[in-house]
């Protein structure tokens, strides 16, 4: 087991809520109202190319070093070495830089290369990463992190407290154009006590401080940045070839073709990790090509295949399909921005009337939608909190104003003056083409709404969504281990992914309270209030929560699913 020289408060950790406390800490249950925050500053390819022959694997037996949960996994490796080949359904890896990374598929790469003060284990609890332990003050406002002596960047330079101060400053520098700065609201500039001791204080208790601010990857605002490499190659270069302190290092990036990583055992603080010598991510954006590459052994593992391939993969000899509820949500969000007229030329829209939004929700039979679009392999959604968050999830189907009721949907449409329906354009990217077509057919059948699909490549979809250049978009979130990842990132005024203009004062206020509430039960009460208020006011339709899917060859061993990150430090190849 990993060793931590501190006591973990199981009530706070075991359900992903997530503050680690020392013996001396009194567990306050009081919610503290924080001050109002300041304004925050391709075409389908040929099958995967053959990779260079890897070094011959070697048999090995080892005892766990006990440094992290990875150490225990790596100790089970019966064969070390070789190359793990990943197939990724994406045209290109456009952005691997911590301040601007914004896609789950890229989080799964940065989680192997970059580092945080803490990382998440398979239960979504924070455990040590570059901080081997930490203390928390009795008022829950000050964290003192004790850094690893042997932590190094892939360049060989030692990681010190100065690098964490730089990371904070770099995120807030306007020139960096970080999309994650809201995560630092109420977080003071880190203080270097000495090279291996770092103090971070907050203006109010942060329930998700460890999982949202200082965790290693998945778009975290304090994911470590290497100042020397950034100075040398710039932000653009770091987007393509980031340098971190993780178990793998980037050795080559042929843009739009593959990203090559190698084991960083000479610099990673646990030399037993990883088990493989090389990890290559191939860009294979077309589903049929991706599935064929796995079936023929061109790649060893794939993430996120379309549900229609599920049965085919399960029936293919030598392939294992692994699944778990995703920690994220999927939705249709309507553009209600104040500058919508300038952005897309529409001043008045049917969805400005919340009763029309209710009608669209009530006209959607989610079970039928999920059966047609995903072969039944998804979970109906009426709010942003996913089943994967366990403690905070509640089934809202019996209380939602948007539960299927076709007669009421038609009544609301007639009352709003849209008895004959209307037409709207919905933007999405290729993975959502089939779900959007199914949704369009259902709404056309029930309340005569005509959806005009606007299918664009992901490389176009992301910047257009960020700019608010759409009538509506189909999409959502993933890699959300804490409610903050949904509510604070998507549904609060000014949040980084709220590009559709949703702004409700009650949600904004309740969000500030839940962020500062450490007690689990009291925080849950606030989360449920937010969910109910969003059900009343949000101009959008939650459709489903995904079932996360991974498929791999049966010689791939030691795979452990960790929400969107899927860290591969303990994976080995039995062939």
Q: What is the pLDDT of residues 396-453, one digit of tens each?
A: 999 999 999 999 999 999 999 999 999 999 999 998 999 999 999 999 999 999 999 9
The beta strand positions in 387-447, using DSSP E, are: 423-428
By C-alpha distance, which of 457, 544, 480 is closest to 104?
480
Average pLDDT, stretch 243-248? 95
Q: How far is CA 389 from the centre of its chain?
A: 13
What kind and span of H or E run contains 248?
strand 248-254
Contact criterion met (CB below 8 Å) for 495 and 182 = yes
Residue 3 has pLDDT above 90, yes or no: no
561 versus 477: which is more confidently predicted? Answer: 477
Q: What is the pLDDT of residues 265-317, one digit of tens each?
A: 999 999 999 999 999 999 999 999 999 999 999 999 998 788 889 999 999 99
Among 72-76, 85-89, 453-457, which is the least confidently predicted range?
A: 72-76
Among 322-326, 448-452, 507-511, which is the least confidently predicted range?
A: 322-326
Contacts of 374 (CB under 8 A, 6+ apart): 307, 435, 544, 547
Residue 14 has pLDDT above 80, yes or no: no
Among 27-31, 94-98, 211-215, 411-415, which is the least confidently predicted range?
A: 27-31
Average pLDDT, stretch 566-574? 89
Among 99-108, 175-184, 463-472, 553-562, which is the least confidently predicted range?
A: 99-108
User: What does the alpha-carbon distance between residue 180 and residue 165 come to, in Å, rounded to a whole number?
Assistant: 16
Instruction: Looking at the structure, tell me whether residues 421 and 531 fall in a common domain.
Output: yes
The residues with which 84 forms a beta bridge, in sequence order, are 279
CA angle (220 as vertex; 219, 225 as ends), nearest 5: 100
- For the chain, helix (H) and strand (E) counts, in that order, are 16, 22
User: What does the alpha-carbon distance between residue 439 and residue 228 come to, in Å, rounded to a whole number?
Assistant: 49
pLDDT attached to residue 9: 34
Tokens linked to 315: 């029936």
Cα diameter, the chain: 72
Q: Looking at residue 394, which CATH number applies to its domain?
A: 3.10.105.10
Tokens linked to 549: 């899917």
Q: Which domain holds residue 120?
A: 10-28+42-53+61-300+555-573
User: What does the alpha-carbon distance between residue 232 and residue 544 come to, in Å, rounded to a whole number?
Assistant: 44
For the chain, what is the domain count?
2
In a domain, 3, yes or no: no
Instruction: Looking at the structure, tell me whether residues 412 and 433 fall in a common domain.
Output: yes
Instruction: Looking at the structure, tell me whether residues 381 and 255 fall in a common domain.
Output: no
Residue 235 has pLDDT above 70, yes or no: yes
In a domain, 283, yes or no: yes
Contact criterion met (CB below 8 Å) for 322 and 551 = yes
Instruction: Looking at the structure, tell me whether residues 90 and 130 fall in a common domain.
Output: yes
In a domain, 1, yes or no: no
pLDDT attached to residue 38: 36
Instruction: Looking at the structure, tell me whether residues 150 and 288 fall in a common domain.
Output: yes
In a domain, 36, yes or no: no
Instruction: Looking at the structure, tell me whether residues 98 and 229 fall in a common domain.
Output: yes
Q: Looking at residue 92, which CATH number applies to its domain?
A: 3.40.190.10
């Amino acid at each position: 087991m990993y060793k931590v020289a501190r006591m973990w408060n199981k009530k706070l950790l075991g359900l992903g809520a997530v503050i680690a406390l020392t013996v001396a800490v009194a567990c306050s249950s009081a919610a503290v109202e924080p001050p109002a925050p300041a304004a925050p500053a391709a075409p389908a390819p040929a099958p995967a190319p053959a990779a260079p022959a890897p070094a011959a694997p070697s048999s090995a037996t080892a005892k766990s070093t006990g440094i992290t949960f990875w150490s225990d996994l790596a100790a089970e490796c019966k064969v070390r070495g070789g190359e793990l080949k990943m197939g990724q359904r994406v045209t290109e890896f456009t952005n691997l830089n911590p301040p601007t990374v914004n896609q789950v598929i890229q989080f799964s790469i940065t989680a192997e290369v970059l580092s945080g003060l803490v990382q998440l284990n398979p239960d979504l609890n924070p455990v040590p990463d570059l901080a081997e332990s930490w203390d928390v003050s009795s008022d829950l406002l000050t964290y003192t992190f004790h850094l690893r002596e042997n932590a190094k960047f892939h360049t060989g330079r030692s990681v010190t407290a100065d690098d964490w101060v730089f990371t904070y400053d770099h995120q807030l520098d306007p020139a960096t154009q970080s999309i994650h700065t809201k995560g630092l609201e109420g977080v003071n500039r880190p203080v270097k006590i000495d090279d291996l001791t770092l103090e971070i204080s907050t203006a109010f208790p942060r329930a998700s401080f460890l999982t949202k601010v200082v965790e290693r990857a998945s778009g975290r605002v304090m994911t470590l940045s290497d100042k020397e490499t950034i100075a040398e190659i710039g932000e653009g270069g770091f987007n393509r070839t980031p340098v971190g302190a993780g178990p793998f290092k980037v050795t080559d990036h042929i843009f739009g073709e593959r990203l090559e990583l190698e084991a960083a055992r000479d610099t990673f603080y646990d030399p037993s990790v990883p088990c493989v010598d090389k990890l290559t991510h191939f860009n294979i954006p077309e589903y049929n090509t991706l599935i064929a590459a796995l079936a023929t052994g061109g790649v060893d593992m794939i993430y996120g295949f379309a549900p229609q391939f599920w049965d085919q993969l399960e029936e293919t000899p030598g392939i294992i399909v692994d699944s778990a509820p995703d920690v994220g949500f999927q939705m249709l969000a309507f553009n209600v921005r104040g500058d919508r007229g300038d952005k897309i030329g529409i001043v008045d829209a049917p969805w400005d009337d919340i009763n029309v939004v209710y009608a669209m929700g009530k006209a959607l039979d989610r079970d039928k939608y999920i059966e047609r679009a995903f072969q039944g392999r998804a979970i109906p959604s009426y709010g942003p909190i996913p089943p994967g968050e366990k403690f905070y999830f509640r089934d809202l189907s019996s209380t939602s104003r948007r539960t299927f009721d076709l007669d009421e949907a038609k009544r609301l449409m007639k009352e709003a003056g849209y008895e004959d329906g209307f037409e709207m354009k919905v933007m999405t990217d290729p993975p959502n083409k089939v779900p959007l077509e199914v949704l369009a057919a259902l709404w056309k059948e029930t309340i005569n709404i005509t959806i005009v699909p606007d299918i664009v490549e992901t490389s176009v979809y992301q910047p257009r969504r960020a700019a608010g250049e759409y009538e509506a978009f189909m999409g959502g979130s993933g890699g959300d281990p804490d409610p903050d990842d949904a509510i604070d990132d998507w549904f609060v005024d000014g949040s980084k992914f709220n590009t559709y203009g949703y702004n409700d004062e009650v949600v904004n206020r309740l969000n500030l309270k839940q962020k500062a509430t450490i007690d689990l039960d009291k925080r849950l009460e606030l989360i449920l209030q937010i969910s109910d208020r969003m059900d009343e006011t949000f101009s959008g339709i939650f459709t489903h929560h995904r079932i996360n899917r991974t498929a791999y060859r049966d010689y791939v061993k030691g795979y452990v699913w960790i929400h969107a990150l899927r860290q591969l430090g303990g994976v080995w190849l039995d062939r």
